[in-house]
Amino acid sequence: MGNSRWHWAEPGPDGGLRGWDGSPSPSGGEPPPLAWAAVGRLPDPLPYPPERRVCLADVPLSGCPAWLGVDRALAGWGAWQEMGESVLVVDAGTVLSLTRVDAGGTFRGGRLLAGLGLQLEAMATGTALLPNLLREPELATTGPGGKEEDPAWPEGTGAAMRQGVEAGLSAAVIQAAREAASRWVVLTGGDGQVLHQRVATELEPLGLAVAHRPLLCLESLANLRPAH
C-alpha cells in the first residue's frame, strides 16, 4: 500500500511476478494476499489479515532505524540480495528515496525529495498560471499551436515543467551515485523507467552499473511472506 496507489503482484507465466497498480482500495472479492505491507494510510476496517503483514522488523536489512519506511527496507534488502554488493537504491514514487546499502547488507542512510508527480502538483497548486499536468498530461508533450516540442528545451509551459522536473530528479540521482561509492544503482518505483535512460547515459560511462527493477519491493515482499 503506497501513498498514492496500491501495488499488486502475482506469479507470472515465466516464473517471476506480474505486477500492476491500482486505486488505494481492494478491488473486492479477491482472496487475501499471501503478504502485504503499507507505507500509506491503512483503510478502516483493515481488509487483510494482520498476521500476513510484513513490517520493518521482518526485513533482514541490518542497521535500519525505527523510522525507516518498510518500502525502503524492502527495496534496499532486495537490491543487495540480487547484486551481492553495495548498492544505491532509487525508488521513484510519490517521494524519490535514495537508499544506501553497504556490501555487508547494512543500511547506510539516504536522501529524500519530492517525486515527479508531487513536484508537478506543487507547481500547479502553488502558482496562478502553471497547468496541472496530472489532470492534463497532454500539455507536457505539445507546445504553442500543438507543435511537437524539442525534448531538451521545450517552448510550451507544460513541457518545460515536465522536462525541468525530470532533469532535476535525474541530476539528483546522478550526483548521489557519484558520492555513494557503490558500483550498482538500482531504480524502481512508478517513475523509475522515466529516469532510467537519463541516469544510465551519465553513469555507465563512469563504470557504474544501472539496473531497472520495477517490481523490486513486491519481489522482496514475496520472498519474505509469512508462513501461513
Residue type at position 107: F
3-class DSSP state for residue 155?
Answer: coil
Other beta carbons within 10 angstroms of residue 37's beta carbon come to 25
Q: Which of 14, 71, 150, 191 is catalytic?
A: 71
The yes-or-no answer on residue 14 being catalytic is no
Is residue 140 within 8 A of residue 133, CB to CB? The reply is: yes
| Strand pairing category for 209-212 and 184-188 | parallel
Query: What's the maximum distance between 2 C-alpha atoms anywhere in the chain?
Result: 59
Beta strands in 115-214 (DSSP E): 184-188, 209-212
**Contacts (Cβ under 8 Å, ≥6 apart) of 97:** 69, 71, 72, 89, 90, 91, 110, 111, 112
- Would you name the residues annotated as active-site residues? 71
